Amino acid sequence: MSSLVPPWGRATEWVYSITGRYKLIMRGGSIEHVLVALRRVIRATDLYSKRLAKTSGLTVPQILLLQAIRDRGQVTIGELAAEISLSQATVTTIIDRLEKRQLVYRVRSSTDKRKVHAFLTEKAVHVLKNAPTPLQQHFSRQYTNLSDWEQAMIVSALQRVAQMMDAEHIDASPVLDLGVLDSPSSLTEPATLPLEGRTKGRSTSPADRLARKIT
């Protein structure tokens, strides 16, 4: 048998057997490779958030919300929340901030007074034209192009990583961004832990130990 080392690393290996078919063999990887990969994901997310804030003055959730309004047209707050998988309360807070910046406006439905529709302003249309493509959309397109078994392997591995970092019970939305989702800027208002989540002195949780090691 002959082996080929794939470009994405040595943790996997394609082996050409006597049957004339390639088989994917999983091999162990060092902890350093894991930490480097995690660090790259964190850095890529952070760098994109900073680039987005510098070019448009917006956060990732704000951009995603503006795009959803643009793509859906006349849309209610509840429909927006379902579209980008955020709570209605979070979406309402983001809409409030965007409205103060004159990027969106709301109009109550003429047929159902209980419904309020969100619309983009001309300023928002201009901002979206000049904003970079969200990292989340770039990642989603590549993920969708993967085969089913590759998608399943990624989901399983990341869920296992979250479990190893004692993070599987942390409430999180499907948004590739750092910081508080409904803050004016995730760069200037970092997330604040609730009182029960704070500890005196240096934290010893696996997640904090990992963060200190890869920083």
Query: Is 118 inside any structural domain?
Result: yes
Task: Give pLDDT tens digits for 87-99.
Answer: 889 899 999 999 9
pLDDT of residue 143: 92
Q: In the predicted model, what is the mean pLDDT of the chain? A: 76
pLDDT of residue 144: 93
pLDDT of residue 95: 93
146: CB partners within 8 A, 6+ apart: 154
C-alpha 158/C-alpha 131 separation (Å) is: 29
- The DSSP code for 162 is H
Stretch 186-206: mean pLDDT, rounded?
41
pLDDT of residue 183: 55
Query: Is 181 inside any structural domain?
Result: yes
Domain count, the chain: 1
Measured in Å, how far apart are the chain's first and last C-alpha atoms?
Answer: 42
Residue 40 · residue 32 · CB < 8 Å: no
Query: Is 193 inside any structural domain?
Result: no
Query: Is 17 inside any structural domain?
Result: yes
Residue 4 · residue 17 · CB < 8 Å: no
Which class for 13: exposed (0-12), middle (13-18), buried (19 or more C-beta within 10 A)?
A: middle
pLDDT band for 60, please (50, 70, 90 cuts): confident
pLDDT of residue 179: 61
Query: Is 26 inside any structural domain?
Result: yes
C-alpha 136/C-alpha 133 separation (Å) is: 8
Separate counts of helices (H) and strands (E) for the chain: 8, 6
Task: Give pLDDT tens digits for 123-170.
Answer: 999 999 888 877 888 888 999 999 999 999 999 999 999 899 888 888
Residue 206 · residue 166 · CB < 8 Å: yes
Report the predicted TM-score, pTM, of the whole model to 2 decimal places: 0.60
Query: Is 197 inside any structural domain?
Result: no
pLDDT of residue 186: 41
pLDDT of residue 49: 85
Query: Is 195 inside any structural domain?
Result: no
Residue with tokens 């309004």: 69
Domain region containing 27: 2-188+202-214
Whether the pLDDT of residue 55 is over 60: the answer is yes
Query: Is 114 inside any structural domain?
Result: yes
pLDDT band for 203, please (50, 70, 90 cuts): very low
Stretch 174-181: mean pLDDT, rounded?
69
**The CATH number of the domain where 90 resides is what?**
1.10.10.10
